[in-house]
Amino acid sequence: MCGIAGQARAGGAPVEEGLVGRMCAAQEHRGPDQRGLHLEEGIGLGIQRLRVIDLDTGDQPVASEDGSVVVVLNGEIYNYAELRQELLRRGHRLATKGDTEVIAHLYEEHGVECVQRLQGMFAFALWDRRRRRLFLARDRVGKKPLFYSLRDGVLSFASELQALLQDPEVPREVDPAAVDAYLAYGYVPAPASIFRGVAKLPPAHRLIYEHGSVAIERYWRLDYARKRRVEDVEELHEEIRAALRAAVARRMTADVPVGAFLSGGIDSSAVVAAMAEHSSQPVKTFSIGFADEALNELPRARLVAERFATDHHELVVEPDAVAMLPRLVRHYGEPFGDHSALPCFYLSQLAREHVTVALNGDGGDEGFAGYQRYSSNLLAARLEGLPSGLRRALGAAGTLAGPGADPRALRSRAQRFAGRLAGGRERRYLDQVQVFDAAARATLYTPELAAQVVPSAADEVLLGPWREASGAELLDQLLEIDAGVYLPGDLLPKIDISTMAYALEARSPLLDHELLELAASIPAAHKARGAQRKIALRGALRGWVPDEILDGRKQGFELPVARWLRGELAPFAREVLLDRASTERGWLRPEGVEAMLDEHAGGGADHGRKLWALLTLELWAQSELAAPPQREAVAA
């Protein structure tokens, strides 16, 4: 795991060595073990390396035998050993025992199509000296990030935004459309970034830079249209178990200590079960809990740890949001409103005290249909047969009921469900996943910001992929959208930034692309039906993972944000959101923000998620927009 950075200039113009060094220094927390630079006419590549595989000879950049191809890699190639043997048989001479060098030689064999042969999580930069070509690529699901900026034939890139901004030529003009998208979803979806002149390379894409021009191509996508026939459910369960075991085994290869995040949910428990089979020593597992028993999953995590005799470590935390929030903002580099990032930071800090690599359960919900919203959408779709007038009446009744103070309460969920019945399928899903819907955003914006925003643009983040979805069933369409938008936009940046802040490498077996392809091929009815979710995965794990885990209520990293914003966090939130700097920025109407704060404080509604998104946006603006172009490295 590492941080990469660099710049390419058309016509062979020199790249400043100090610039590449500053870009590396700004993300030293990602890879504190080694810094490497490669500079020649027209190109500068940099790497901050965290040594995980091939500790002695694997430092980067790495070149081919004749030096005509140079590579820097952030991530891991899990099938590098097989590829290495194949390349040796074809006459290549490899000087290291690691995975980065494999990319250089594979490129010599297959050109830019080499990315199709790679299994892993990666973002890499490859310089082809003969063609004067810079080749960037990102893994299939978007585990590893890559930001870039192209202007006047100059391409700069980096793993993190604050590293890219070390280049003073990169523009720092905020994109109003990105602010709008952020308030809709709580993150800025790719390919956009918060700045107009900066983009994210989307997952499963490659970028080819030659002679000052860029071409971007997609090289992989999940296909939900091709379905297998399930004649024997037990055979399907065995295939899932085999694919899971293989994915876990691939991710346990390391020359440093390896452990696992254990939440007590189905997905992380499945990963730990497979790790225990593969390991000759007790698996090191890490869990965090909260003083609030309603949010505490430690008892379930202990159950799994005992079942598989792990070397278990726990930490009970009462997160200090006031102290931690500015740090979160600095690490993410652009607004990020998922409050579960907070416990992820604490968990990463705990794990890094014992291991350098931690496996996790990310991807199980998006692959095998784990979210409650899938069930509610399937139920709403069944009710589409009701007369339209009756559906409108139910929706109106839900709207008149008003929002409940506790969004998790049955009354609140029923109210939201009824209110969505009148809309179409796409609109229902937008209502579920958006932080602020289009109407709420329009009410909140100043006339100046509203004039710079296309009201329907943020909705297109989901509606566009929905129109292009390959699946015929509603559930498959939802899974495809979440795997393509929500997963790489929210969940994967959350875990990447949280772990990399402590130089901890996170690996996600359930995001193995072959396992995801298997999940996509399973008929929808075998994944979710009625109130049942993760049907096929639960069946595959039955008898292997404790029943108490398989049949327990899904928890997730929930935080009492609503309570905090009515209690200890309330003065801080009011001070930040109504600060003179905030009101003079001209994005949000202060009276609208103040009304939300008052309504939430009075208990009339739960605006916790919305206020958290506004708070992180404003903290980001105060921290980043006032910063000079050349920045200090983010402190770990």
pLDDT tens track for 456-514: 999 999 999 999 999 999 999 999 999 999 999 999 999 999 999 999 999 999 999 99
Instruction: Give CA–CA dist 197/578, Å, rounded.
Output: 29
Report the candidate in 195, 216, 187 with the shortest Cα–Cα distance to residue 204.
216
Instruction: Give CA–CA dist 24/572, Å, rounded.
Output: 34
Strands 205-210 and 147-151: unpaired
Q: What is the pLDDT of residue 634?
A: 44
Domain 233-287+297-307+339-369+480-550 belongs to what architecture? 3-Layer(aba) Sandwich (3.40)
| Cβ proximity of 285 and 300 under 8 Å | no
Q: How far is CA 477 from the centre of its chain?
A: 20
Q: What is the pLDDT of residue 55?
A: 81
Query: Known catalytic residues?
Result: 2
Q: What is the pLDDT of residue 163?
A: 97
Q: Where are the domains of the chain?
A: 2-218, 233-287+297-307+339-369+480-550, 372-440+466-473
Whether the link from the prior residue into 61 is cis, omega within 30° of 0, is yes
- Give start and end residues of each alpha helix (H) in 48-175: 80-89, 100-110, 161-164
| Residue numbers in the chain where pLDDT is lower than 50 | 629-636
∠ CA 112-118-119, rounded to 5°: 155
Tell me the CATH number of domain 2-218, given options 3.40.50.300, 3.60.20.10, 3.40.50.2000, 3.40.50.1000.
3.60.20.10
Q: What is the pLDDT of residue 390?
A: 57
- Give start and end residues of each alpha helix (H) in 151-190: 161-164, 176-185
Q: Which residues contact 464 (CB under 8 A, 6 or more apart)?
A: none
Q: What is the pLDDT of residue 114?
A: 98
| Cβ proximity of 504 and 351 under 8 Å | yes
pTM: 0.93
∠ CA 308-313-317, rounded to 5°: 135
